[in-house]
Amino acid sequence: MARPPARNSRETIITYKTLLVHVDDSERCAQRVEAASRVAGGLAARLVGVYLVPTPALTPSVSALLPDSVVRQRLRDSGEMQQRAEARFRETAAGAGLVAVEWRAPAGDPTRAIVAHARGADLTIIGQPDPREITAAFANDIANAVVLESGRPVLAIPYIGVNGPIGEIALVALDHSRQSARAVADALPLLVRARKVIVVAITAAAEETFGDTQARAQVVAFLRGHGIAAEVRHLDLPNIGVGELLLSQAADCGADLIVMGAYGHARLQEFVLGGVTRTMLEAMTAPVLMSH
């Protein structure tokens, strides 16, 4: 009698294989790269640093209008800054024990570049814009582009840095939207490793429907199917904003990761972050994983 084929005894591990981190010349970049290196190390993932800064491109037409000495100096300065950024990136990655490391410095429009490179990664890590830095507007443009256009989850690191772990206690903001469901699925590699997962469902009681309740129950069952026994908290929509409530809940439970859907709305010719998403990005005190 023929024996049945042997089954692979190894379990399928849910993880990210490639992490992309935005690198620039800001003072807060070191904290962002350090946090990204720790996340990559915990997942045994490859870490790619993509160097994007708001320096205007030195196009041939611009160069033709400038003295040769000015052009040479600008090229020299930008090259030296890029070299220093790469050295710091590689040093931090090596300090975290990473061996799979890659450096990229794409030319052209930085917002288009971050979107294009993010689409080839499992997770993109950016920094929370620091309003005290002169590059705050550029950081906002990067966040807006990669969150809304890349089709990949984005992990934003607070500009104050992260001293402790990322993802031991995860707070999941849950509603009945597509973005929320996608964020839960996109965050699985971190959620399955969390010590505690808290699902916060915020609804206006008067508008709650049976379908909404069932949709949330399905998401909780989805987590349970992946071995995640999440604690569920149902909260009525408060007088304060949803973003403020989420931040308050995260502080109360000591969350070191917030998972949420990212929302946007049309404004003239562009698509920009919605109010709750923007509030979280501006006021976050813990890393926030967003999916659009």
* Domain enclosing residue 255, as ranges: 169-291
**148 and 187: one domain?**
no
- Which residue among 116, 134, 157 closes a domain? 157
**46 and 122: one domain?**
yes
Q: Does a structural domain hold residue 132?
A: yes
Query: What is residue 53's three-state secondary structure?
Result: coil
**50 and 128: one domain?**
yes
**23 and 151: one domain?**
yes
Q: Does a structural domain hold residue 195?
A: yes
- Which residue among 157, 186, 204 closes a domain? 157
- Which residue among 102, 125, 157 closes a domain? 157
**153 and 181: one domain?**
no
Q: Does a structural domain hold residue 38?
A: yes
β-strand partners of 123: 19
Q: Using an 8 Å Cβ cutoff, are 46 and 152 in contact?
A: no
Residues of the chain with pLDDT under 50: 1-11, 58, 71, 266, 268-271
Domain CATH code at residue 232: 3.40.50.620
Our measurement of the distance from residue 167's CA atom to the centroid of its chain's CA atoms, rounded to an integer in Å, reads: 13
User: How many folded domains does the chain comprise?
Assistant: 2
Pairwise CA distance, residues 54 & 144, whole Å: 15
pTM: 0.86
How high is the pLDDT of residue 34? Answer: 96
**86 and 203: one domain?**
no
**22 and 152: one domain?**
yes
Q: Using an 8 Å Cβ cutoff, are 19 and 46 in contact?
A: yes
How high is the pLDDT of residue 107? Answer: 87
**Distance (Å) of CA 62 to CA 57, 67, 77, 78, 79:** 8, 10, 17, 16, 18
How high is the pLDDT of residue 262? Answer: 80
Q: Which of 146, 179, 191, 138 has its CA nearest to residue 21?
A: 146
Residue type (1 letter), 290: M
How high is the pLDDT of residue 272? Answer: 53
Q: Using an 8 Å Cβ cutoff, are 156 and 290 in contact?
A: yes
Task: Kindly report, residue by residue over 186-236, the tens digit of the pLDDT.
Answer: 999 999 999 999 999 877 655 666 666 777 788 889 999 999 999 988 887
Q: Does a structural domain hold residue 58?
A: yes
Q: Strands (DSSP E) along the chain, which ranges?
A: 18-23, 46-51, 101-104, 123-127, 154-157, 169-174, 196-203, 231-236, 257-261, 264-267, 270-273, 288-291
**140 and 175: one domain?**
no
